[in-house]
Amino acid sequence: MNTSAMIQELKTRLARHTAVTVLTGAGISADSGVPTFRGQDGLWNNYRPEELASPEAFDRDPRLVWEWYNWRRNLIRNCQPNPAHYALVDLERRGGTFRIITQNVDGLHTLAGSQRVSEIHGNIWKVRCTRCGRTAVNREVPIAILPHCSHCQGLLRPHIVWFGESLDPVDLQQSHDALRQCELLLIIGTSGVVYPAASFGSVAKEHGAFVAELNRDPTPHSDLVDMAIHGSAQDLVPQLLA
Ligand code: OAD
């Protein structure tokens, strides 16, 4: 099937189905100027995740980790949602059961206006106290290094799920509910190598959903999903709603 035939089929399914779940990754924000992690120009080509995005890294050198997050906060604050984010807002407004599960921490889905969003890897604009566990929104750029909790003076860390850490159980439950309930799962702009999100396509499929992947490049899941469409998210996603 060629791309336009696949888009047409997805449009028909979207019109028919009342339970839709969308899993997004860094690729949906690439067209907004947020760097992806893997592939050409990916952040992990130049930085080592274990030195910047792990609890051990933060214990070892919290200044370095905060400097890296300041760099990313500065970059992301200048980024705006793109047509793919806005198309998902329109999709949600059609009604029915809907949820976006995103691995992105940039907050662009909610900035665009999406309501039912599970940010399973956290949010770059939130901080969490390493002592009392309180979370708070903090949009300072740059954040004063080292930041401390206004309540207990404990050291603040980014409210991000790092390598080796578990997802918040509420996010995990919401995600599994959405994957079990949906008739259609759209997987947009994720390389599909980080778990548990990498297993979400199979979970939805086991529960009877039609699973479609929209990605600029093939992924390890392209042959396992029901449909894989290649192209940029900002071109493809709005076409589904046109
Ligand atoms: P990756 O950087 O691993 O993958 C991005 C995917 O988007 C790749 O498959 C690209 O081919 C695709 N892509 C790039 N530009 C695109 C575009 N314009 N349109 C559509 N697709 C495009 O990002 P994630 O899969 O999100 O974790 O990575 C998962 C997790 O790994 C991240 O959440 C992050 C990272 O380490 C944490 O920060 C905890």
How far does the centroid of ligand 1 lie from the alpha carbon of residue 31, in Å? 12
Cβ atoms 115, 92 nearer than 8 A: yes
pLDDT at 47: 79
- Look at residue 31 in the predicted model and tell me its pLDDT: 96
Reading the block at residue 127, the tokens are 């901080």
Rg of the chain over Cα atoms, rounded to whole angstroms, equals 18
Report the candidate in 90, 82, 80 with the shortest Cα–Cα distance to residue 20. 90
Atom of ligand 1 nearest to the CA of 121: 39
Instruction: Specify the amino acid at residue 227.
Output: M
Residues 90-133: pLDDT tens digits?
Answer: 999 999 999 999 999 999 999 999 999 999 999 999 999 999 99
In the reported structure, the alpha carbon of residue 212 is separated from the centroid of ligand 1 by a whole-number distance in angstroms of 16
Residue 50 has pLDDT above 80, yes or no: no
pLDDT attached to residue 174: 97
Q: How many CA atoms lie within 13 A of 107 on its CB side?
A: 17
Distance 222 CA to ligand 1 centre (A): 15
Whole-number Å distance between alpha carbons of 24 and 56: 27
Q: How many CB atoms lie within 10 A of CB 152?
A: 12
pTM: 0.97
Neighbouring residues of 209: CB distance < 8 A, sequence distance ≥ 6 = 21, 179, 182, 183, 184, 185
Using one digit for the tens of pLDDT, what is the confidence trace for 206-242? 999 999 999 999 999 999 999 999 999 999 999 999 8
Q: Which of 121, 151, 159, 230 is catalytic?
A: 121
3-state SS, residue 215? strand
User: Quick check: is 176 catalytic?
Assistant: no
Domain boundaries of the chain, sorted by first residue? 3-34+80-120+167-239, 35-78+122-160
pLDDT band for position 51 (50/70/90)?
Answer: confident
Residue written as token pair 């997050």: 69
pLDDT value of residue 153: 97
Confidence of residue 57 (pLDDT cuts 50, 70, 90): very high
Q: Is 35-78+122-160 a domain of CATH 3.40.50.410?
A: no
Q: Which atom of ligand 1 is nearest to the CA of 24?
A: 26
Ligand 1 pocket test, pick from 3, 24, 38, 106 with the greatest ligand atom count within 8 Å of Cβ, gives 38
The mean-pLDDT minimum among 11-25, 32-46, 113-127, 156-170 falls in 32-46
Asked if residues 190 and 220 have their Cβ atoms less than 8 Å apart, the reply is no
Q: Which residues' Cβ are closer than 6 Å to ligand 1?
A: 25-27, 30-31, 36-39, 42, 49, 53, 103, 121, 161-162, 189-191, 194, 215-217, 219, 232-233
Q: Quick one: pLDDT band at residue 46, thresholds 50, 70, 90? A: confident
pLDDT digits (tens, 9 = 90+) for 129-171: 999 999 999 999 999 989 999 999 999 999 999 999 999 999 9
CATH number of 3-34+80-120+167-239: 3.40.50.1220
Joined together, the tokens standing for residue 51 give: 């030195």
Summary mean pLDDT of the chain? 95
Structure tokens at 58: 């933060």
